[in-house]
């Protein structure tokens, strides 16, 4: 089997950071794969396969760990006069590439790079530049190069219309303009880069963009255990600015007067490990609520390719909600909805919701912009429920406010106001309030993945997952009830 020293993905990683390329080759065991987002990879495969349908009679090169096998298949397809070839694979002097969809014309070739995103990012141009450069070296005349992405304005009406779902962007000129830098970097990688010496590259924006780097832990191993990259509520650029001005540890932050004064109070409190309870603000906040209280939480799923009428790529589709109703006398009711898989449940869910929450009720969510967004989408999708749904929308209050505004803070919240941090801080020894004590689904992304894959599960697996989803979502709203009680105690 031939060992190719550069592939398209390795080249892209070298553009992002030379040290990343070096680490891939010399110390790959240091890679932390928690930076990999499985759903992005899955969306990429799904979108890639669908985009192939844009090209009639396409021939597909089968994946093989032996790259020369893929190259042989490609040669065969070209000899057979095939016009469109997916995963068309080539190499030139150890530089390997697979073109997502290659079109063979009489007077040259057209590169089509398919991405599951809804925008053309700069890194896609580097990707296409590498492909067009290597193909040029092989003697192909590259007529044009396109990046095919999902059209974020597309709204499904009836059957999928692939020409409208996908947007084809001609990037030939930008890609060709980068050939000189592709050539230089490839030469450097194959001739000058010394694999025996670790490149001396400091951490910077390139560690996070365009892709998060899995070697960040390795490259920051010199920092103290409590370092600024663990701070929440500070963005990456701010952290990097501090890092490059020599502020590395929590105590550096506390001792650095100028930078420290600019930090938002939440970070200050996080560092000083203070407990804060602003009773007046909390009391004013609680006065806005009126019984009965309807604590609401949705679980949603996102599909790159809109599966149902009126949906856009990546639109959040609600499939579940939990609703706790707290009456003035302290009694609690629980209602819930969880869709069966494999059908468009939005109307059924909307109808249940407006039946469960009477008009003019006080509904409560934690980080309500999310719940409100879902309700607004449903209202526009089903005009006959618009008034009822917008009534819920307009009467919703956000339980996150006291924590976001820092009226209530405990060091156990570790600088975060997410319910996943607030809850254990408020109820440290209560197993019933601990997401980790749930069996199976413990987070929103796990709920989304579980629902998405339900159609592929056996009956028993489905039943088990449904139980987990119900328990998980129920805890979300029960947690809100308990948080409200805690705030009332602080009034």
Which chain residues interact with ligand SF4 by CB under 6 A?
17, 19-20, 23, 201, 203, 206-207, 213, 215-216, 219
Cβ–Cβ < 8 Å for 469, 338: yes
Q: Least Å distance between CB 29 and ligand SF4? A: 14
The residues near 1 (Cβ < 8 Å, ≥ 6 apart) are 65, 66, 67, 68
Complex with ligand SF4: residue 19 or 156, whichever CB lies closer: 19
Complex with ligand SF4: residue 140 or 216, whichever CB lies closer: 216
Q: Least Å distance between CB 14 and ligand SF4? A: 10
Q: Least Å distance between CB 183 and ligand SF4? A: 23
In a 3-state reduction of DSSP, which class is residue 269? helix
Complex with ligand SF4: residue 142 or 203, whichever CB lies closer: 203
- Angle (deg, nearest 10), helices 459-490 and 279-286: 120
Complex with ligand SF4: residue 201 or 277, whichever CB lies closer: 201
C-alpha span between 203 and 16 (Å, rounded):
12
Complex with ligand SF4: residue 201 or 425, whichever CB lies closer: 201
Complex with ligand SF4: residue 22 or 90, whichever CB lies closer: 22
Backbone angles phi, psi at 69, to 5 degrees: -65, -40
Q: Least Å distance between CB 26 and ligand SF4? A: 11
Complex with ligand SF4: residue 236 or 384, whichever CB lies closer: 236
Complex with ligand SF4: residue 248 or 466, whichever CB lies closer: 248
Q: Least Å distance between CB 12 and ligand SF4? A: 12
Q: Which residues of 78-100 are buried (b: 16+ CB within 10 A; e: fewer)?
A: eeeebebbbbbbbbbeebbbbbb
Using CA atoms in the order 425, 430, 436, 439, what is the torsion angle rounded to 10 degrees? -160
102 bridge partner residues: 85, 111
Q: Least Å distance between CB 22 and ligand SF4? A: 8
The residues near 38 (Cβ < 8 Å, ≥ 6 apart) are 449
Q: Least Å distance between CB 21 and ligand SF4? A: 8
Q: Which residues of 452-477 are buried (b: 16+ CB within 10 A; e: fewer)?
A: bebeeeeeeebeebbebbbebbbbbb
Cβ–Cβ < 8 Å for 379, 414: no
Other residues' Cβ atoms within 10 Å of the Cβ of residue 234: 20
The pair of structure tokens assigned to 147 is 């990046």
DSSP one-letter code for 340: P
Complex with ligand SF4: residue 215 or 285, whichever CB lies closer: 215
Q: Least Å distance between CB 17 and ligand SF4? A: 3
Q: Least Å distance between CB 225 and ligand SF4? A: 18
Q: How many CA atoms lie within 13 A of 123 on its CB side?
A: 16
Q: Least Å distance between CB 23 and ligand SF4? A: 5
- Lay out the sheet containing 84-92: strands in order across: 59-60, 84-92, 95-105, 108-114, 142-150, 166-170
60 bridge partner residues: 86
Backbone angles phi, psi at 273, to 5 degrees: 55, 45
Complex with ligand SF4: residue 236 or 359, whichever CB lies closer: 236
324 bridge partner residues: 295, 334
Complex with ligand SF4: residue 23 or 171, whichever CB lies closer: 23
Total number of residues shown for the chain = 491
Q: Least Å distance between CB 211 and ligand SF4? A: 9
């Amino acid at each position: 089997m031939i060992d190719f020293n550069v592939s398209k993905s390795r080249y892209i990683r070298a553009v992002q950071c030379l040290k990343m390329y070096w680490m891939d080759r010399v110390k790959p065991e240091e890679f932390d794969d928690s930076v990999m987002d499985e759903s992005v990879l899955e969306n990429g495969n799904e979108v890639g396969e669908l985009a192939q349908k844009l090209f009639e009679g396409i021939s597909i090169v089968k994946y093989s760990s032996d790259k020369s096998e893929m190259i042989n298949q490609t040669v065969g397809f070209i000899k057979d006069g095939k016009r469109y070839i997916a995963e068309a694979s080539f190499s030139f002097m150890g530089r390997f590439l697979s073109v997502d969809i290659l079109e063979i014309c009489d007077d040259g070739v057209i590169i089509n790079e398919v991405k599951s995103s809804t925008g053309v990012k700069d890194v896609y141009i580097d990707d296409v530049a590498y492909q067009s450069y290597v193909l040029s070296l092989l003697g192909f005349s590259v007529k044009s190069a396109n990046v095919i992405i999902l059209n974020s304005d597309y709204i499904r009406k009836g059957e999928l219309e692939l020409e409208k779902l996908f947007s084809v962007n001609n990037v030939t000129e930008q890609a060709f303009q980068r050939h000189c830098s592709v050539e230089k970097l490839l030469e450097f990688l194959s001739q000058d880069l010394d694999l025996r010496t670790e490149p001396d590259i400091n951490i910077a924006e390139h560690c996070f963009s365009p892709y998060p780097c899995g070697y960040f832990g390795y490259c920051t191993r010199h920092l103290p255990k409590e370092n600024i990259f663990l701070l929440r509520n500070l963005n990456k650029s701010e952290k990097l600015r501090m890092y490059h001005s020599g502020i590395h540890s929590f105590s550096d932050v506390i001792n650095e007067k100028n930078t420290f004064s600019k930090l938002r109070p939440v970070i200050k409190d996080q560092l000083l490990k203070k407990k804060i309870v602003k009773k007046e603000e909390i009391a004013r906040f609680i006065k806005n609520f009126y019984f009965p209280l309807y604590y609401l939480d949705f679980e949603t799923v996102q599909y790159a390719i809109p599966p149902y009428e009126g949906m856009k790529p990546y639109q959040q589709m609600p499939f579940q909600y939990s609703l706790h109703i707290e009456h003035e006398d302290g009694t609690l009711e629980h209602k819930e909805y969880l869709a069966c898989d494999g059908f468009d449940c939005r109307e059924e869910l909307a109808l249940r919701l407006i039946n469960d929450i009477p008009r003019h009720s006080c509904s409560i969510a934690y980080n309500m912009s999310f719940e409100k967004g879902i309700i607004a989408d449903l209202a526009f999708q089903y005009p006959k429920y618009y008034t009822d749904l917008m009534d819920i929308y307009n009467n919703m209050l956000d339980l996150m406010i006291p924590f976001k505004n820092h009226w209530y803070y405990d060091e156990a919240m570790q600088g975060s106001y997410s319910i996943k941090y607030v809850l254990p801080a408020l109820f440290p020894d209560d197993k019933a309030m601990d997401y980790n004590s749930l069996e199976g689904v413990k987070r929103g992304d796990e709920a989304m993945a579980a629902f998405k894959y339900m159609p592929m599960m056996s009956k028993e697996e489905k039943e088990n997952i449904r139980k987990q989803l119900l328990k998980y979502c129920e805890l979300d709203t029960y947690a809100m009830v308990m948080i409200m009680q805690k705030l009332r105690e602080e009034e």
